[in-house]
Structure 1
Amino acid sequence: MRTNDSSGAAPAAWLAIAGLTVIVVVPFIAVVLQGIFPNIGQGSFAGPFSSFVATLFDSALIGMAGNTIRLGSCVVLASALVAVPLGVFRALYRIPLAPLWDVLLLVPFMIPPYIATLGWIMTLQPRGYLQQIAGFNLAPFLFSLFGMTMVMAFNTFPVVYFAVSRTVEAVGARYADVGRVFGASPARAFWRITLPLSAPGLVASLMLVFAAAIEEYGTPAALGRRAGFQVLVTGIDLRISDWPIDLPGAAILSILLVVMSLLTFLLQRWILARRSYQTVGGKPAAKDKRPLGAMKVPVMIAFAVVAFLATGVPLLSILFTALSRTISGGLALDNISAENFLSVFNNSAGALVALLNSFSLGIGTALITGLIGVLAAYTVVKTKIRGRVAIDTMTILPNALPGIVVAVGLILAWNMPWLPATPYNTAFILLLAYCCILLPQPVRYTTAAFQQIGDSLEAAARVFGASGVIAFRRILLPLVFPSLASAMLLVFALASRELVASVVVAPVGMQTIATFIWRQFEQGSIGLGMAMAFIAILITTLLPLLLLTLPRRSGLVAE
């Protein structure tokens, strides 16, 4: 039974709607209006849709759209080839040092893609680390579609690996064993029984990989431009950063990218609805895993190779570069120094200011998205007021808004000459961008938490005279707070090193961790940029893990 008392629900709904409107709806509508009315920035609605024909039938656009789909598809295929076999072995067999492999295969997902890309550049470029060690380089491979696919796949495959390993583990081997009793070969039992039962998790993870690949900015910008491989994200960036500025064209490309992202999620839902597999028995699957036997050595080699390529190469490359006195000095003992790290802490080129800016924005983003997320989730899950459908829609919309589209929307929305006041060219514009991009995290976490809480608790509080606000604050909020805190820590880590919005809408003269690293690399101060990158990885990865362990150590977690 859900309460119909709106004493606490109405304020929560209105606060959620106000926040979502400013953070999500305004930039999205700005992009749509700019695409339809090319002169809206001058206050004119003349010539609606006039830019669509010129932009949509431009051969360059057709090429960028095709490249975007090709890159996304290649990354999905490569991620599946790497992750699915490892995930299946992890789920069904006893893997030596399994928890260690899980950690090593999670780290690539925690390394920002643009930082990992810079690490691969330092390794495979001419006179890079590979050439210093082995005498040859792989620059032609790296600066190509195949190189971009490899770098991006090593960053995204953990999504597929953990989805497959957990899903297949939940299914277990019992149903495949039944198939083998009736004459199926091991391969046939896997393809006809285990894999179909695991299809939902696999399909969902592959769709997430495709969406992440077509929205990624750092890798295509660093590798694709040198290879002449333009995608929609880099095309949008060029239209808003290179003269002549083409805001209508950027808006139309942004709309096309949003449509691609939205179609990805709709395709995922259609596949799962059309081909749904489930077990009909209530008995849980056995968790006993089989020994690897003769496959032990090949499987361990596979785990080690993937862990080394995905985790070891980028991190070692970043660390070696950060410890180098000069890049030309290469891998030599007399070239090792901590000067770059000391320069960061001495605020060289504004490094400490960049760290402070990013951490301040990360904390602000975590607080704002946490507040809006918990209010929106409460309104959607626990109330029946009319506004909950609109709130639910607005919380879903950011899933289809790539970071570059959010940045374009904020420029279009807040750079109008007739506005009496605007956050544009201030730190607040970055805060708005980060909040829009990362809002889905607290919404998803808290929505799941609210769905697990029965309505009887809140109803009991109402019976004893508690208002809706008190029931929310004293009962529901403490119950969902662990999930909310986890989401806010994730938001902090991601916001602190976000690249695309930082590059596009950062105020003049303001640096963040991402823009500092990117600009140092472009200006030739590669060692200083890599030192900042290594520090950022350590802080944004270890700090949330440390904070999550504190409640358990202090005994604050309820048993």
Structure 2
Amino acid sequence: MKSNGISGASPMTWLATAGLIVVVAVPFVFIILQGIFPQLGRGSLAAPLTHLPGLFDDTRLWRMGGNTVLLGLSVAILAALFAIPLALARALFKVPFALFWDVALLVPFMIPPYIATLGWIMTLQPRGYLQQLVGFNLSGFLFSLGGMTFVMALNTFPLVYFALSRTIEAVGSRYADVGRVFGASPWKSFWRITLPLSTPGLVASMLLVFSAAIEEYGTPAALGRRAGFDVLVTEIDLRVSDWPVDLPGASIFSLLLVLLSLAAFLVQRWILNRRSYVTTGSKPQHKEKRPLGKFSLPVLVLFAIVTFLATVLPLFAILSTALSKTISGGLAWNNLGLSNFSSISGNSAGALKALSNSFLLGISASLLTGLLGAVSAYVVVKTRFRGRNILDTMTVLPNALPGVVVAVGLILAWNFPGLPITPYNTPFILLLAYCCILLPQPVRYTTAALHQIGDNLEAAARVCGASAFVAFRRIILPLIAPSLVTSMLLVFAVATRELVASLLVAPVGMQTISVFIWRQFEQGSIGLGMAMAFVTIILTTLLPLCLIALLRRGGMVAE
């Protein structure tokens, strides 16, 4: 039995509806409207669809769409090739130093992609760190589709590694052992039994990698343009930021990117619905993991190589560049120092202001998405509001809205002629962008927690005279707090270093961390940019971890 009727939940229903309309629906609707009405930016609905024939006849649209799909598929496949052998070893065997490898392989995911890419540029470019150490460079490889795929796969493969290793660990090796008893080889048992049973985790994580790859801006912008490999994200940025501004074209390219993201989720659903992946038993297998035996050394070497490429080398490049007094001085002891970090502490080029801006926006975004996510999830899960399915769709929609699309939608919506008041060209436009992009995190965590809470406690409170709001605040909110706090910390970590929306909609004269780093590279102050990047990695990784540890001691965060 549901705990609330329509009228009882109406205050929170109205709050959730209003919040989702402002944060999610407005930018998405304006992208569609701009795609239909080319004169919308001038306040006119004249000549609908007249620009479409010329746009669709432009071969660049299809070329960049094809490039985007090719890049996404390439990154997803290579990330799986990196992750599958590591996940298999981690899940089924006693890997020495397993916890260390888990932590080491989590670091690449904590490094913002554009920062990792800048580190690879400093390493592989002509006269880069690789050439200084061994005498040759790999710039030809780096500035190519293969180089982009390699760099992006190293940044995203932890998604596949952690999802697949946990899935295989839950499946266990019992079913593969049965296959071995009936004469199957180890390879055949893995290919015909273990891997198919792990399909849900593998497919879901690979499609997340695909979506992340087609939405990524920093790596294609830094590497793809020099390679002549343009994708939809960079073209959208070009049409919005370069004169003459082409808002109708940007909206069409944005809608195409949204369709690709939605197609990825539909493919995932189609694959998982084709057959059942449920085992006979419902509980995870707890069989003791096997020793690696003679494969211990090869497995350790494999973990070490991937860790070196994904974690050690980018961090080395970032820190070496940050410590370099001059880039031309190279890797020499007399060229190392803390001058770039001193410049940051001295607020050179507005570094401290950029840090404070990003931290304030990150905290605000985490609080707003936490509130809106909790209320929206509650309305969807715990009420009988007739429009809750529409609200549920709106909470999921940002999953298919890349950051560049959100930015374009906000520009179209809040720069519309005749608005009496607008957040455009103020910090609030950035806050709206971060909230739209990151809202699914609190919603997803809170929804899972709400499904585990029965209706009896809330019903008892309502019988005793408590309103829906009081029952939510005094009963539901404390119960979902562990999951909600965890998601808010994730929102904070991502929001403080978000790049593409920050570049497109940041007010004139305002810098965030990501804008500061990007502009320092454009202006040639590479050491200062890398010093800020290193500070960002440390702060956005350690601060949430420390806060989680403190809250966990107080019982506020789930283990």
Is the shorter-chain TM-score for this pair beyond 0.5, marking a shared fold? yes
Q: CA deviation at 1:277?
A: 1.3
Q: CA deviation at 1:387?
A: 2.5
C-alpha distance in 2 between matches for 1:543 and 1:8: 39
C-alpha distance in 2 between matches for 1:482 and 1:556: 5
C-alpha distance in 2 between matches for 1:342 and 1:540: 20
Moved over 4 A (4+): 554-559
Whether contact under 8 Å (1:169, 1:287) holds in the other structure is: no
Amino acid of the structure 2 residue aligned with 1:500: V
C-alpha distance in 1 between matches for 2:192 and 2:127: 49
Amino acid of the structure 2 residue aligned with 1:222: A
For 1:71-86, what aligned pairs fall within 5 Å after superposition? 71-86=71-86
For 1:141-160, what aligned pairs fall within 5 Å after superposition? 141-160=141-160
The answer to which of 116-125 and 188-197 deviates more is: 188-197
| Cα deviation digits, residues 250-296 of structure 1 (max 9, x gap) | 00000000000011111101110113211123464233100111111
Whether contact under 8 Å (2:325, 2:335) holds in the other structure is: yes
Question: Match for residue 246 of structure 2?
Answer: 246
Q: CA deviation at 1:499?
A: 0.1
| Cα deviation digits, residues 137-193 of structure 1 (max 9, x gap) | 000100000000011000100000001100000000011101111111111111111
Does 1:194 pair with 2:194?
yes
Whether contact under 8 Å (1:414, 1:423) holds in the other structure is: yes
Question: Match for residue 109 of structure 2?
Answer: 109
Q: CA deviation at 1:125?
A: 0.4
Question: Match for residue 413 of structure 1?
Answer: 413
C-alpha distance in 1 between matches for 2:516 and 2:55: 33
C-alpha distance in 2 between matches for 1:204 and 1:438: 19
C-alpha distance in 1 between matches for 2:211 and 2:558: 38
1:50 counterpart SS class: coil
C-alpha distance in 1 between matches for 2:556 and 2:379: 28
Question: Match for residue 522 of structure 2?
Answer: 522
| Cα deviation digits, residues 409-449 of structure 1 (max 9, x gap) | 01111112211121111111111111100000000010001
For 1:267-306, what aligned pairs fall within 5 Å after superposition? 267-282=267-282, 284-306=284-306
C-alpha distance in 2 between matches for 1:277 and 1:387: 32
Amino acid of the structure 1 residue aligned with 2:62: I
For 1:179-328, what aligned pairs fall within 5 Å after superposition? 179-282=179-282, 284-328=284-328
C-alpha distance in 2 between matches for 1:76 and 1:319: 28
Does 1:39 pair with 2:39?
yes
Amino acid of the structure 1 residue aligned with 2:427: A
Structure 2: any 5+ residue segments left out of the alignment? none
Question: Match for residue 349 of structure 1?
Answer: 349
C-alpha distance in 1 between matches for 2:307 and 2:213: 21
C-alpha distance in 2 between matches for 1:218 and 1:362: 20
Whether contact under 8 Å (1:324, 1:337) holds in the other structure is: yes
Provide closer, same or farther for how the CA distance between residues 28 and 237 of structure 1 changes in structure 2, counting only shifts above 3 A.
Answer: same
Provide closer, same or farther for how the CA distance between residues 213 and 372 of structure 1 changes in structure 2, counting only shifts above 3 A.
Answer: same
Q: CA deviation at 1:556?
A: 5.9
> What root-mean-square deviation, in Å, do the aligned CA atoms of Structure 1 and Structure 2 show?
1.2
Question: Match for residue 15 of structure 1?
Answer: 15
C-alpha distance in 1 between matches for 2:399 and 2:555: 36
Question: Match for residue 29 of structure 2?
Answer: 29
Whether contact under 8 Å (1:160, 1:205) holds in the other structure is: yes
Question: Match for residue 494 of structure 1?
Answer: 494
Does 1:338 pair with 2:338?
yes
Whether contact under 8 Å (2:324, 2:337) holds in the other structure is: yes
Provide closer, same or farther for how the CA distance between residues 164 and 509 of structure 1 changes in structure 2, counting only shifts above 3 A.
Answer: same
Question: Match for residue 443 of structure 2?
Answer: 443
C-alpha distance in 2 between matches for 1:279 and 1:141: 44
Whether contact under 8 Å (1:20, 1:395) holds in the other structure is: yes
Amino acid of the structure 1 residue aligned with 2:101: W
C-alpha distance in 1 between matches for 2:352 and 2:382: 44
TM-score (norm 1): 0.98
Whether contact under 8 Å (2:2, 2:384) holds in the other structure is: yes
C-alpha distance in 1 between matches for 2:29 and 2:282: 48
Identity of paired residues, percent? 70
For 1:29-178, what aligned pairs fall within 5 Å after superposition? 29-178=29-178
Structure 1: any 5+ residue segments left out of the alignment? none
1:480 counterpart SS class: helix
TM-score (norm 2): 0.98
Does 1:423 pair with 2:423?
yes
Question: Match for residue 479 of structure 1?
Answer: 479
C-alpha distance in 1 between matches for 2:13 and 2:7: 11
Q: CA deviation at 1:389?
A: 1.4
Whether contact under 8 Å (2:441, 2:487) holds in the other structure is: yes
C-alpha distance in 2 between matches for 1:306 and 1:503: 32
Provide closer, same or farther for how the CA distance between residues 253 and 545 of structure 1 changes in structure 2, counting only shifts above 3 A.
Answer: same
2:51 counterpart SS class: helix
Whether contact under 8 Å (1:7, 1:469) holds in the other structure is: no
Whether contact under 8 Å (2:552, 2:558) holds in the other structure is: no
1:38 counterpart SS class: coil
Amino acid of the structure 1 residue aligned with 2:142: L
Amino acid of the structure 1 residue aligned with 2:45: F
Amino acid of the structure 1 residue aligned with 2:393: T
Provide closer, same or farther for how the CA distance between residues 557 and 251 of structure 1 changes in structure 2, counting only shifts above 3 A.
Answer: closer
